[in-house]
Amino acid sequence: MRRWLLGGALALLAISLTIPFLSSDPAVAVAVRDCRIVREFSDSPLEPPFDYARLTISVTNRSQVAITYYGYARELPLYQTLKPGLLGWERKAGGWWCGTGVHEHTLAPGEGIDFGATVPTGERCKIRFSYSDGQTRTRIWEKLPNWIADRLPRVTEGPNATTPVIDLRPGSTLLAKSRTDR
């Protein structure tokens, strides 16, 4: 009897953790609208020029409730650059944000914003936009052991949405469509 109850509880836990990730219609849509490659030249003739990409990212609230996010201004949200890692997409090292001047902003249902993001060229990445939909965590989330909770993005960071893969390696179609500034 105990095994049956334990098995049922584990199955229920697995289902409750999986359902939020299976939604076919995301509450927040994130997409790349524009990509421009910029070449920077150093003041020193010994340093070679370096390239980076300026992306215009579009975020739209497709849910029925308002969402909130943090940023320096309405169209300057905090975002994270993700890169391929051993266990999937991981946050890129560095790129910390200063908390001074960061405020909470709201996107009503159907509203959207565009913002700029800077990423390195020559690699694949994604941009992650984190937000809150106002839902509080249930007691089961609070009772999970840390070794499980640390591996679940909704528990540790709240809801987020990412762009499709942005491929800025030589020969990629996104790179071919962008233009170079000097």
Structural domains of the chain, with CATH: 25-181 (2.60.40)
Residue 52 in contact with residue 39, Cβ under 8 Å? no
Q: Three-class SS of residue 110?
A: coil
Q: Distance of CA 172 to CAs 51, 119, 137, 162, Å?
A: 15, 15, 41, 20
Instruction: Give, for all 182 residues of the chain, the pLDDT tens digit.
Output: 556 555 554 444 444 444 444 444 578 999 999 999 888 888 888 888 888 999 999 999 999 999 999 999 999 999 999 999 888 888 876 656 677 888 999 999 999 999 999 998 989 999 999 898 887 555 555 566 766 655 555 544 578 899 999 998 888 776 545 444 33
Tokens 């969402």 correspond to what residue? 67
- With contact defined as beta carbons under 8 Å apart, do 50 and 181 qualify? no
DSSP string, 113-139: EEEEEEEESSSEEEEEEE-B-SPPPPH
Determine phi and psi for 143, rounding to 5 degrees: -90, -5
User: How far does the chain reach from its first CA to its final CA, in angstroms?
Assistant: 72
